[in-house]
Amino acid sequence: MNAPESVVMNIAERAADFPILARPIRGRRLAYLDNGATTQKPRAVIDALTQYYEQSNANIHRGVHWLSQHSTDLYEQARERVRGLLNAQSSQEIIFTRGTTEAINLLAQTWGAQHLREGDEVIVTGLEHHSNIVPWQMLCERSGAILRPVSVTDKGELDMAHYQSLLNARTRLVAVAHVSNALGTINPLDEIIRLAHSVGARVLVDGAQAVAHQEVDVQALACDFYAFSGHKLYGPTGTGALYVRADIMADMPPWQGGGDMIRTVSFERTTYAEGPQRFEAGTPNIAGAVGLGAAIEYVQQIGLRNIAVHEEALLAEATDSILTLPGIRIIGTSAHKAGILSFLVDGIHPHDLGTILDTEGVAIRAGHHCAMPLMTHFGIPGTARASFALYNSSDDVQALIAGVRKAQKLFGVGLDG
């Protein structure tokens, strides 16, 4: 990946765009390294929300008055921005949701319920977040389909030979993360999707940990479905989207019934709206969608390629630096990783480490990261996880390393190092 050094160097200066980062935490400069859980919001997104409520608020789609039409335009412009982010062919392939979790549940309860029969198979992977396991498990229980998890190697990569051995004529769906939230592993989607399609299965990509950190092109990937959350992309909470290829969406039954998702209603028979509106019953999170559009504009101005290069550099620095300390075990050592560092420190429980780091102003996550099967695979209850975003800098990495060293001293472990 090539990006001019100056562009990459300047990215961390964008921290000034994020008001919360100027807030001292426990009297310290905040080193916010919990971006895998949620990202902070730039002024551009906060202003877009305020401006929406101050200048544009009205309900969408049904109104004849000016503000309603204006609000509808803003909402649909945000859908177009999501289309651009994913390079979908049409904005009609974008369904707004509350986030990745809702997107996957929507898919399971519509396309999934329509297509899965007893004896059919759904492949998930051992790296998945619970939200890409449980909805499929629930659907399997209802339909009699079988859930088949792909094994994970000791490096935290998918065992592709095992994956291939699971694929067969009964495989209806492969549900796979683009990037593992617990380890940072970037999965080989091209191969996964090609192999799935060769047996006639559909592919859902969980892009929750990908969209803020690299360019995504659903047409080049040729995936059938792609889900993500706005709040991990510098956008508001309660926003997200599900991409569904147009020809597949055309056949999908609705899920929630109500206003906005219908064409005509009578007591005898209701007909449904076409396109994404069929899946957006009720008044949606209009302001949230507008804020998400602003977030997409923000990252696109910086350039997702530049962000990826910046975060790769932070990950490399953090990995090299932490390995200079004694008693460190990194969980997830794939050569293809996004900006996530999951690790264990000998003699210190991840929760204790997280608490000590917090007193230093360093915010990380400790626990199973909603990936309990993956933790079981590694035989551990959880890890400490530092996850990077565009506004992080070398100072944040060094605050993390100093904090870990301090925890080791407090616990009297690794003192020889």
Residue of 71, 109, 131, 239 interacting with ligand PMP (CB under 6 A): 131
CB of 131 to ligand PMP, least distance (A): 4
Of 100 and 110, CB closest to ligand PMP: 100
Of 131 and 383, which CB lies nearer to ligand PMP in the complex structure? Answer: 131
Q: Tell me how far apart the alpha carbons of residues 151 and 128 are, in angstroms, rounded to a whole number.
A: 11
Q: Does 214 bind ligand PMP (CB under 6 A)?
A: no
Say whether residue 206 binds ligand PMP (CB under 6 A).
yes
Specify whether 370 is catalytic.
yes
Alpha carbon separation from 409 to 30, 103, 149, 322, 402 (Å, rounded): 22, 45, 41, 15, 11
Stretch that binds ligand PMP, among 204-212, 242-250, 349-357, 391-399 (CB under 6 A): 204-212
Report the alpha-carbon angle 373-374-376, nearest 5: 65
Residue list 356-375, contact with ligand PMP (CB under 6 A): 370
56 or 285, CB closer to ligand PMP? Answer: 285
Apex 165 CA angle, 164 and 170, nearest 5: 95
Min dist. Cβ of residue 231 to ligand PMP (A):
6
The residue length of the chain stands at 417
CB atoms within 10 A of CB 6: 7
Is 184:35 a contact under the CB 8 Å cutoff?
A: no
CB 385 within 8 A of CB 374: no
Strand 340-345 relative to strand 383-387: parallel, antiparallel, unpaired?
antiparallel
Residue 84 tokens, joined: 């651009």
- Where does residue 292 fall: left (phi above 0), alpha (psi -120 to 50 degrees), or beta otherwise? alpha
If the CB atoms of residues 177 and 345 are measured against ligand PMP, the closer one turns out to be: 177
When asked if residue 177 is in the footprint of ligand PMP (CB under 6 A), the reply is yes
Compute the distance between CA of residue 369 and CA of residue 129 in angstroms, rounded to an integer.
8
Q: Is 249 helix (H, G, I), strand (E, B) or coil?
A: helix
| Residue with smaller CB distance to ligand PMP, 15 or 211 | 211
Residue 181 touching ligand PMP (CB under 6 A): yes
Q: Binding of ligand PMP at residue 385 (CB under 6 A)?
A: no
Stretch that binds ligand PMP, among 74-82, 128-136, 349-357, 408-416 (CB under 6 A): 128-136
CB 89 within 8 A of CB 299: no
CB of 78 to ligand PMP, least distance (A): 17
Number of chain positions touching ligand PMP (CB under 6 A): 14
Instruction: For the segment 74-103, give every residue that binds ligand PMP (CB under 6 A).
Output: 99-101
CB of 110 to ligand PMP, least distance (A): 17
Please give the Cα distance from 157 to 12 (Å, whole number): 30
Least separation in angstroms between CB 203 and ligand PMP: 15
3-class DSSP assignment, residue 330: strand
- Alpha carbon 409 to its chain centroid, in Å, reads 35
Helix H or strand E segment including 229: strand 225-229
Residue 285 binds ligand PMP (CB under 6 A): no
Nearest CA to 51 among 30, 71, 66? Answer: 71
> What tokens appear for 186 in the block?
């970037």
Question: Can you tell me the distance from the alpha carbon of 90 to that of 374, in angstroms, rounded to the nearest whole number?
Answer: 36
Q: Is 129 in the site for ligand PMP (CB under 6 A)?
A: yes
Catalytic residue (one of 49, 138, 273, 370): 370
Q: How far is the CB of 101 from ligand PMP (least distance, A)?
A: 3
81/231 with CB nearer ligand PMP: 231
In the complex, the smallest distance separating the C-beta of residue 334 from ligand PMP, rounded to whole angstroms, is: 15
Residue with tokens 């100056």: 6
- 33 sits near ligand PMP (criterion: CB under 6 A): no
- Decide if residue 208 touches ligand PMP (CB under 6 A): yes
Residue with Cβ nearer ligand PMP (101 or 109): 101
**Contact positions vs ligand PMP (CB under 6 A):** 99-101, 129, 131-132, 177, 181, 206, 208-209, 229, 231, 370
Q: Which residues are catalytic?
A: 370
